[in-house]
Structure 1
């Protein structure tokens, strides 16, 4: 739902841009960072930055000293300098943190207290897109998760202020997002419903004026929701709150979160969800919608691209090959270890039905030293100090509470959760921050372990050597 205070029409100048054949996946927290997106866009694909956890990413870069000065350079053009200066005064550490020092955290946002999170999300999205767009005139995209409803509005507005060309969104049904984009583009505020389990949704409203920003017309990005079925694509094409420009059609072989199988859940002998014919997308039905689409999941080969084009797709979305390219934000040691291992052994990717607090299946790479190892998982003290995947729920007193099945079990149960729902749940928020080199040092001095995700096509890395670049991926795909 959007603020309809005026009838001004948004600027949709991006909709006539040529369609990319290769879209880079919006992976994890800061894996699809501005360096990767910038390189992909400059070399002919659609580079995409991840907006997940971008507020914490911004703060941790500042606390690590912003050694190249990129964050401060990007924020220098933000239209409210006072917000920027306040953030720098609070979080920037010249020279970075002392070794072993914990990162300063934002207070966990709630339904009634989220201004700090919104300001830093606004600044983080603006900086990330600004840096990805530096030095070229090619389009850049933003990837968000529908699950992170509390952070969606400021992330969209910050990215649009910086000139983002495309918004890609999954992990839910983003029916209201096109209307939000329309409202922001027309110079209006916008509202979004936030789900509350056991009660009516709450309405969150972002008004630029409340953040010292003069309402102005902005270019309206293309919107490509991520879908796993032609049925959902049809619903969004017909019933979304505004126009949809295309779809990312993601199969169950893609990394990160997967849509659960349709029908009763069946597990294979390893405990992975079993997908069948009902989970296959009807491409004829998809083509009949008359909108472009890109196929994703196991598409990182020239043959996959040519096959997608032959099937009527505009192209493909590729994640795994870009995630391990030298420009990605994934830790260098993880990239080297995985690509090196791929040369000599089979790398295991397990579709874990329990790992994610969201309840969606989540792809996990079996790798020593990460939460994929039972002993590492058992040794980690349960902490919920980022809270992106928490669930809002209505308490007995009628208030809105927050809980996560990956938080301490006693705390979860005290909030009305069921203890069985905590089994096997992993703190993806902290683990994915660790993957990108922003691991928190927790009380007691222990450092958060990572948890690597990848598509089922990870074995294809055997054909690549450590240190390959994003331009190499595009060159091979387009061969």
Structure 2
């Protein structure tokens, strides 16, 4: 049995695409704290890792335990390359997310989530969670089911309002078919700001577990799955109250994330001017009313600048069960960041020359996104300018209703003319970066184009690195996940 949520002092953040990979989550889970895998793009990660030859055989071991052997066989036949493809060979593409996704796409999503969680849970009895972006709605039901088949203990959801997740978890635990409402923007230009455009209509993504396990698997005959606990990652007490008010939307707890946390963050309330460095300016209206959340009676954890023993003590003094920590784990040995890139980040952080910018334009989602400024990455203006705009992975595409009445898909990081032709607004394209391809490159799985172009990386960290002096001595090359846990729990 895993620990009760009330006893978890530390939640390891579910970062990026493959940064919070299964070896990291497993290492944290072994300490008894909550290890978390990132649930973003696990279909693509599984396909690319198999094409790399699956060193160590871990992925094939997990697929051998997948409860639908025919599905596992089809995935191996399509993507596994013994010995791996050459370093200059392009990866075989995976189906892009869309409404009414085909069978191969759904199978790969379910299997990718199963594999990551299954491997994270091996060799220990500690808790394991999976972290999803609510913005990536079209994959959500299949992804949840795959993680639940592997026995995931916690589901964490950020970058949106996870009001549908309690219902999805309840139904999927019974192997029931589900539908998730999806906002479809109108064909008139509409900004990709976090608020749903007024012109939006609604469609649905349907998922039936029987499509994976076969028609004999039904809610009446199959053994129920254990329902994981749901933690909503939010930055507003108002949203916490809204979610907790209704049993149909109430999570099992909250992670309260400040704007200092890595990756995406909520934009500031109102429309304050940008700082001299072009970053969003947060003020008193953006501070989280922790006491109001505590009064709801649900457990919560604080995130964003709390990654020290003193930060943990302060969080507990405010009524929190503990803290969520991202960047300290992102820089440890078990994280998925490419080793050379990780050493650059550590070296610059130790030297005091690492700049983390909260870029209001980088992410296609419209949310501000933290970027670590490094040469030869997309934060280098010459590298950004040289990259051909394209959208071939499409995890952050959003559906829209065209003039012909058909649903299409657009992303402000795609070619500008394409985006405008789909009814997008020109101002939404300025400064946008292809996070899908860049974050794959950050974990060493960047695409090599047939014309020789290699996708550059883009690293994200939180804006507080106060944890480093306590973890990394001047003569040390790195540290491990267990060191982070010990550092945070020291008396």
Do the structures match in fold with TM over 0.5? yes
Q: 5+ unaligned residues in a row in structure 1: which ranges?
A: 1-12
The count of aligned residue pairs is 467
Rounded Cα–Cα distance in structure 1 between residues aligned with 2:2 and 2:158? 21
CA-to-aligned-CA distance 1:290-346 (integer Å, 9 cap, x gap): 000000001111110000011100000000000010001111111111112222233
Q: TM-score, normalised by structure 2?
A: 0.93
Q: Answer yes or no: is the 8 Å Cα contact 1:22–1:318 preserved in 2.
A: yes
CA-to-aligned-CA distance 1:151-207 (integer Å, 9 cap, x gap): 111110000000000000001101000110011112312221111112421111211
Q: Which residue of 1 aligns with 2:196?
A: none
CA-to-aligned-CA distance 1:132-159 (integer Å, 9 cap, x gap): 0001111100000001101111110000
After TM superposition, give the deviation of residue 113 of structure 1 in Å.
Answer: 3.3
Q: Which residue of 1 aligns with 2:453?
A: 446
Rounded Cα–Cα distance in structure 2 between residues aligned with 1:314 and 1:320? 20
Q: 5+ unaligned residues in a row in structure 2: which ranges?
A: 187-199
Secondary structure in 2 matching 1:193: strand
CA-to-aligned-CA distance 1:393-424 (integer Å, 9 cap, x gap): 11111111100000011111111112221110
Question: 1:470 aligned to 2:481?
Answer: yes
Secondary structure in 1 matching 2:205: strand
Secondary structure in 1 matching 2:46: helix
The aligned runs of 1:267-416 (5 Å cut-off) are 267-416=274-423
Q: TM-score, normalised by structure 1?
A: 0.95
Q: Which residue of 2 aligns with 1:220?
A: 227
After TM superposition, give the deviation of residue 366 of structure 1 in Å.
Answer: 0.6
Q: Answer yes or no: is the 8 Å Cα contact 2:148–2:225 preserved in 1.
A: yes
Q: Answer yes or no: is the 8 Å Cα contact 1:262–1:279 preserved in 2.
A: yes
Q: 1:245 to 1:42 in 2, by over 3 A?
A: same
After TM superposition, give the deviation of residue 445 of structure 1 in Å.
Answer: 1.0
Q: Which residue of 2 aligns with 1:5?
A: none
After TM superposition, give the deviation of residue 65 of structure 1 in Å.
Answer: 0.2
Q: Which residue of 2 aligns with 1:108?
A: 96
Secondary structure in 2 matching 1:69: helix
Rounded Cα–Cα distance in structure 1 between residues aligned with 2:386 and 2:11? 38
Could you say what the CA RMSD is over the residues aligned between the two structures, in angstroms?
1.4
Rounded Cα–Cα distance in structure 1 between residues aligned with 2:485 and 2:4? 23
Secondary structure in 2 matching 1:457: coil
The aligned runs of 1:30-429 (5 Å cut-off) are 30-198=18-186, 199-213=200-214, 214-215=217-218, 216=222, 217-239=224-246, 241-429=248-436
Rounded Cα–Cα distance in structure 2 between residues aligned with 1:327 and 1:141? 16
Question: 1:26 aligned to 2:14?
Answer: yes
Secondary structure in 1 matching 2:329: helix
After TM superposition, give the deviation of residue 15 of structure 1 in Å.
Answer: 9.2
